[in-house]
Amino acid sequence: MAFFQEPPRLGNQFDDDPMLPSWIARHIGGDEVARELHALGDIAVEYYGKQLADRLNDPVLTQWDAWGNRIDKIEVSPLWREAEGLAAKHGMVAAGYETTLGAKARTHQFAIVHVLSPSLDVYSCPLAMTDGAVRTLLGSGNQALIDRYVPLLTSRDPSVMWTSGQWMTERTGGSDVSQSETVARKDGDQWRLYGTKWFTSATTAQMALTLARPEGNPDGSRGLALFLVELRDANGRLRNIAVNRLKDKLGTRKVPTAELTLDGAPATLVGSAGDGVRAITPMLSVTRTWNAVCAVSGMRRALALAGDYARRRKAFGALLVDKPLHADTLAGIEAEYAGAFCLAFKSVQLLGALEHGGTDAEERLARALVPIAKLTTGKQAVAVASEAIEACGGAGYIEDTGLPRLLADAQVLPIWEGTTNVLSLDTLRALGKGGALEAIIAEVDANVAAATDPGLAKPGEAARAAVRHAAAWVAEAMSQPDRLEAGARRFAMTLGRSLELALLIGHAQWCLDHGHGPRTAAAARRFLLNGVDQINDASLEDSKLLA
Ligand code: MFK
């Protein structure tokens, strides 16, 4: 009988995760959350099947009806329609704001996101922005807007829950938003916005937070202000907003990302009539944390499929998993996942701590950790997805296996919400506020000091040495702006990888002490071999010649 390869399959996506169960046991404890996550782990498997069946359904924009009326209707995929209800019901945003678990609410929420989101075709995008909008509104002090919108955005009732977009990018740029051309004009008691938004993700949201320049304000980012736009009127018609087209993207194809023209769209000022970039920074911190968590959950899904494939696929007389080179390759990317997991969930923990008081040291650490976690995990997600689909051989390159999508979707993670380079510069800006580098070194040291197992000593020394090398480099480069900027990515990556290794060591010791086995310690040792310290002073002259 002819041979047919069995496709890779998923097991329960909580139980099979090598990091999440022990992290939850350590940082939340009890059985209740673990039971909830186990149930979601089965739902994730069910939706993975639906995802494969839904593969070819991209969102569709219909601009005109049969009678010539402009309607700009966006039809999302069937899975996205289901994801909307699922996300509300399981509290993918709401759980972060519920009070039962106090500061642990964020760990609870992002554990839910971690288990479910890889099966929901990047529905995480509107959820991230919704969460960011809640945090931004709560920080704005605008009680009328908080009272009206926060209950909608944090509802667990699918018939009530709203999502929010975040429109920052214009044709002038997505990184340097200071050049934004959208103008806000006063019209009686309200404002109206005029301009073009070039990338608006998930345009099916009910509202959006956006930047515009009130007429008469100065150029540059200080002249921008933060506005809230309700997209549709009571009849569901867009309010002076035209959808020019949907973007034709490499990945995240289910996300209806659009170009919009605002032609007098009614808007409400959120805070003051200026300083909009500063006003929207809570949004950036939250969506960048989502980015880090979705990077690790994407890695987890890629590894789950590549690992299962290795246990089903035979070549040269043995299962792939029993081939030393294949096992070595998988081990390398499993270690990347484990380190990335710790850093992303440390950011989550800090977010929760800050929302419940938090110390000055936690605040300094969080400000630097968010860009570091986003940029480090974004790059890891692409590398891991690429290696994981290669581990499935030719099947990994064939669209209807569903595997190539893992890489296409991962590639957005280092781009949106601030590219790797922009976030490297943001890391420098965060450290410039003072105290953040010391907080990072203290975090590395505390985790390393907690490890008593001899097998963790060498990785511990390496983490301490790498973070100190980075600190020494930045102290020296500080007075040379070009050298500092050119090395900013290697510097930020070294901080990220030192933190990942140290957090992994801290968690590995906890796992050894609490009956969760030696696997995390093995991940720490392997992570070290993948490389931690990236500091070097590449020649500026050579870079000019090469670029
Ligand atoms: C799965 C997850 C899904 C996520 C959904 C994604 C949907 C996709 C939509 C997008 O991709 S939207 C586009 C994303 N674009 C960005 O993220 C912008 C990237 N660019 C930056 O982050 C720039 O650094 C920035 C626009 C902030 C620079 O602007 P400015 O005007 O040159 O900033 P400036 O003057 O340095 O900072 C203004 C103030 O904000 C300063 O405060 P002070 O005046 O008090 O010093 C800064 O310290 C502060 N600030 C800037 N960045 C901050 C911040 N504060 C806290 N956190 C930050 N990250």
Q: Whose CA is nearest to atom 53 of ligand 1?
A: 281
| Domain assignment of residue 339, yes or no | no
The model's confidence at residue 1, banded by pLDDT at 50, 70 and 90, is: confident
Q: Write out residues with Cβ below 6 Å of ligand 1.
A: 124-125, 128-129, 166, 168-169, 174-175, 177-178, 201, 221, 277-278, 281, 284-285, 287, 290-291, 294, 416-418, 422, 426, 429
Q: Ligand 1 centre from 1 Cα, in Å? A: 60
Q: What was the pLDDT predicted at 202?
A: 75
Please report, rounded to a whole number, the percentage of residues in the chain having pLDDT higher than 90. 97
Q: Which amino acid is at 325?
A: L
The model's confidence at residue 433, banded by pLDDT at 50, 70 and 90, is: confident
What is the DSSP secondary-structure string of 316-338? TTEEGGGSHHHHHHHHHHHHHHH
Residue-wise pLDDT for 269-327, tens only, equals: 999 999 999 999 999 999 999 999 999 999 999 999 999 999 999 999 999 999 999 99
Quote the CA–CA distance of 444 and 442 in Å, as a whole number: 5
Q: Whose CA is nearest to atom 47 of ligand 1?
A: 278
What is the DSSP secondary-structure string of 79-133? HHHHHHHHHHHTTTTGGGG-STTGGGHHHHHHHHHHHHGGGTTTTHHHHHHHHHH
Q: Whose CA is nearest to atom 30 of ligand 1?
A: 221
Pocket test for ligand 1, best of 247, 278, 297 (most atoms within 8 A of CB): 278
Q: Whose CA is nearest to atom 57 of ligand 1?
A: 281
| Domain assignment of residue 265, yes or no | yes
Whether residue 51 has pLDDT greater than 80: yes
Q: Whose CA is nearest to atom 38 of ligand 1?
A: 278
> Which DSSP symbol is given to 59?
-
Quote the CA–CA distance of 267 and 227 in Å, as a whole number: 6
Q: What was the pLDDT predicted at 395?
A: 96
| Domain assignment of residue 450, yes or no | yes
Q: Whose CA is nearest to atom 31 of ligand 1?
A: 221
Whether residue 347 has pLDDT greater than 90: yes
The two three-digit tokens of residue 190, written as one number: 């309200």
Pocket test for ligand 1, best of 275, 423, 429, 433 (most atoms within 8 A of CB): 429
CATH number of the domain residue 252 falls in = 2.40.110.10
Sign of CA dihedral 319, 323, 327, 330: negative
Q: Whose CA is nearest to atom 39 of ligand 1?
A: 278
Residue-wise pLDDT for 353-379, tens only, equals: 999 998 988 999 999 999 999 999 999
Nearest Cα residue to 471 out of 524, 506, 418, 435:
435
Q: What was the pLDDT predicted at 54?
A: 96
Quote the CA–CA distance of 196 and 206 in Å, as a whole number: 18
Q: How many CB atoms lie within 10 A of CB 14?
A: 22
Q: What was the pLDDT predicted at 83?
A: 97
Q: Ligand 1 centre from 206 Cα, in Å? A: 23
Is residue 192 within 8 A of residue 158, CB to CB? The reply is no
The model's confidence at residue 479, banded by pLDDT at 50, 70 and 90, is: very high
The rounded mean pLDDT for the chain is 96
Q: Which atom of ligand 1 is nearest to the CA of 419?
A: 19
Is residue 93 within 8 A of residue 287, CB to CB? The reply is no
Q: How many CB atoms lie within 10 A of CB 291?
A: 27
Residue-wise pLDDT for 216-226, tens only, equals: 999 999 999 99
Please say which residue of 277, 299, 325 terminates a domain: 277
Question: What is the tally of structural domains in the chain?
Answer: 2
H/E element, 289 = helix 276-312
Q: Which amino acid is at 342?
A: C
| Domain assignment of residue 503, yes or no | yes
Q: Which atom of ligand 1 is nearest to the CA of 167?
A: 12
Give the domain range for residue 174: 164-277
Is residue 291 within 8 A of residue 129, CB to CB? The reply is no
Pocket test for ligand 1, best of 121, 255, 277, 422 (most atoms within 8 A of CB): 277
What is the DSSP secondary-structure string of 268-283? EE-SSSS-HHHHHHHH
Kindly report the backbone phi and psi dihedral angles of residue 169, in degrees, each rounded to the nearest multiple of 5, phi listed first: -75, 130
Is residue 347 within 8 A of residue 373, CB to CB? The reply is yes
Q: How many CB atoms lie within 10 A of CB 176?
A: 10
Cα angle 293, 299, 305 (rounded to 5 degrees) comes to 140
| Domain assignment of residue 282, yes or no | no
H/E element, 139 = helix 124-140
Please say which residue of 277, 306, 332 terminates a domain: 277
The model's confidence at residue 483, banded by pLDDT at 50, 70 and 90, is: very high
| Domain assignment of residue 349, yes or no | no
Q: Is residue 139 exposed (0-12), middle (13-18) or buried (19+ Cβ within 10 Å)?
A: middle
Sign of CA dihedral 63, 68, 70, 76: negative
Is residue 259 within 8 A of residue 197, CB to CB? The reply is yes
Biggest CA-to-CA distance, the chain: 78
Please say which residue of 277, 293, 320 terminates a domain: 277
| Domain assignment of residue 252, yes or no | yes
Nearest Cα residue to 374 out of 316, 430, 415:
415
Q: Whose CA is nearest to atom 41 of ligand 1?
A: 278
Q: Whose CA is nearest to atom 54 of ligand 1?
A: 281
Which residues are 165's β-sheet partners? 208
Residue-wise pLDDT for 156-212, tens only, equals: 999 999 999 999 999 998 898 999 999 999 999 899 999 999 999 878 999 999 999
Q: Ligand 1 centre from 417 Cα, in Å? A: 8
- Crossing angle of helices 276-312 and 360-390, in 10° steps, is 40
Q: Which atom of ligand 1 is nearest to the CA of 126?
A: 5
Is residue 207 within 8 A of residue 164, CB to CB? The reply is yes
H/E element, 541 = helix 540-546
| Domain assignment of residue 419, yes or no | no
